Chains A and B, each alone.
Chain A
Amino acid sequence: MQYDVVWPKSPLATARRPLAPRLTDGLAGKRVGFLWDYMFRGEELFPVLARELEARGAEVVGYDVFGNTHGPEEAQVVGDIPSVIAARGIDAVVSGVGA
């Protein structure tokens, strides 16, 4: 017996958007924010990253300014990211650590 079956998935409901423009003129003079989920040794990785970015002329805004992006206040912290970015004049972010 033959069966004609339908799709068990469902259509994507989210509109496609392009990524934000990259900083093609380099990092010098730019402000880079760090976003951390407070896991997986970010407290060791981000200081190294800060020194390297500062050596390239960037200014770093630490993860403590944003708060824990994965903890119980995740929704609030992530929801506040745009306003913190605007208030601090942040040009780019690095978010971690997914593991």
Chain B
Amino acid sequence: MLRASVAAERAGVPSVSLVSPGFERQALATGRGLGFDGMRLAVLAAHPDGQSTDDMLTSFRSSTLGEVVAGLTTETRVEGATTSEPTALEVVASGTIDELHDLFCARGWTDGSPFVPPTRERVEAFIAATGHDPWRSLGVARPSGREITVWSVAVNAVMAGCLPQHLPVLLAVAEILAGPHYGVEHSGNTTGADALMVLSGPVVGELGFSHGPGAHREGERANTSVGRWLRLFLRNVCGFTADEHDKATFGNPAKPLLAEDMEVLAEIGWPSFAGEFGFGLDESAVSIGRINSTVMIGSVFGDTPERILPYLADGVVRATGWDLTHVFGLGRGHYLPLLLISPMIARVFGRAGWSKRQVQEALFEQARVPAWKFEALIGEWTNLTAGRRTLADLVAAGELPSAFAESADPDRLVPIVTESSKFLIAVAGDRNRANALAMANDGPHGWWTSRFVDTSPSLDLACRIGDDECGA
């Protein structure tokens, strides 16, 4: 909404943005990140989802309308335009651990947990071990408009307790955040999806990431510190703090990095999670997507694929509700739920000679919901899909495949994704447990994106910290 307004302002045309209460600061911050201070807003009396039509339109005429007209026709002096900020090497604070913790919390520079003080010496040592140019720019962070540099990645990595050898993973993720595909600018949206990084390939073992018991929670340094780095980086560089861009209603706990069990994948002949995005088992890659609901599928009992698939399919369905607006509405075929299965379950498929593709196809057939419920979830139960169109309408218009309208029976079962390959599968966790997790992704707003992790020494060394010509 605000990005559209900025496009008009850039074209020399005045804009006013309609926002509901509580979104003013986010809107102004988004404008600031795109180069415009003081974007003009017209504020609704209340969030439109909770108002009667009469109340909404009456207050719109009596209050918001005047702000629209004023915003388009009157010039105002922009107050509080961006002031000077510290340079990268500038000391911004001095103190004890406790004093720095208090100060960083007060300024919104940390998540509330203790952190390693990012002294210049620590950050320099962190980078020096890798050979990277600290001032190399990876792009511009959205929505903050701040530059992503190796230095900014490293400062937050030091705070999070990462080790220098983790830097290739962090840089790959930072490059994903800098690019347009993932859509990091949506990271503060209403449902509070949180980013999940999935690490695949030889880098899992080479850098000491844990993929065993408790793989999806904090507890191991590499997984935990890299997961925390991402939250700090989203806060400090991308701008997701509660006073600006983070508008999550509840939010999710920060997720540690999830590393795959590469040995078991090789044993059963399956591609890695990153294989879905073109990477081979012998290639190191990190993938990232944003996750909303997560459903535990406990005690998956059975020694054949046929016996365990119904339970897995049911779990994926139970993780899926409003998320169907990513099939049609907020997205167009952008729902790609992730099924995380334990190695023991993966081995059941492997012993039966099932490929990952066969599992995906079976899930496509079995993970289904009644058509009436699908239509309610993208229609009368949400305000995120305009038009209230039926599945038959959407199939007829070529918006969905025919599987969604094989009959007119409202109780017919329809898929929850548009094609079988959109069920993503990863393998990790305790090798001696038969459990799974179903995770609903946030569609195009944190769109699954993978990137190669390059652990070879960098040849960037042309620039040294402190050299004037390096922009310090």
Interface string of B1-29 (1 = CB under 8 A from A): 11111011111111111111001001100
**Complex interface: stretch among B114-122, B349-357, B423-431:** B114-122
B23 touches A98 (CB 8 A): yes
Answer whether A45 and B20 are a contact pair too, CB < 8 Å, given A19-B36, A20-B13.
Answer: no
Interface string of A45-65 (1 = CB under 8 A from B): 100110010001000000000
Interface residues of B, dominant DSSP: mixed
Q: Is B290 an interface residue (CB 8 A)?
A: no
A2 touches B1 (CB 8 A): no
Interface string of B269-297 (1 = CB under 8 A from A): 00000000000000000000000000000
Extra A-B contacts (11), CB below 8 Å, given A24-B74, A72-B332: A1-B96, A3-B100, A6-B92, A8-B155, A19-B40, A27-B69, A37-B4, A45-B60, A77-B4, A98-B26, A99-B23
Interface string of A2-20 (1 = CB under 8 A from B): 1111111111111111111
From the candidates A24, A35, A56, name the one contacting B8 in the complex (CB within 8 A). A35
A82 to chain B: closest CB distance in Å? 4
Interface string of B72-92 (1 = CB under 8 A from A): 111100100110011111111
Q: Is B450 an interface residue (CB 8 A)?
A: no
B155 touches A6 (CB 8 A): yes
Answer whether A99 and B47 are a contact pair too, CB < 8 Å, given A14-B145, A52-B61.
Answer: yes
A20 touches B12 (CB 8 A): yes
State the CA gap A77–B1 with chains docked (Å): 11
Tell me which residues across on chain A come within 8 A of B39, comparing CB atoms: 19
B416 to chain A: closest CB distance in Å? 18
- Determine which residue in B39, B104, B331, B383 has the highest number of CB atoms from chain A within 10 A of its CB, and name it: B383
The residues of A with any CB-CB pair to B shorter than 8 Å are: 1-24, 26-27, 32-33, 35, 37-45, 48-49, 52, 56, 66, 69-72, 74-75, 77-79, 81-82, 85-86, 90-99
**Complex interface: stretch among B48-56, B210-218, B371-379, B432-440:** B48-56
B16 touches A95 (CB 8 A): yes
State the CA gap A75–B42 with chains docked (Å): 24
**Complex interface: stretch among B146-154, B299-307, B311-319, B404-412:** B146-154
State the CA gap A96–B92 with chains docked (Å): 39
- Determine which residue in A6, A15, A41, A48 has the highest number of CB atoms from chain B within 10 A of its CB, and name it: A6
Q: Is B97 an interface residue (CB 8 A)?
A: yes
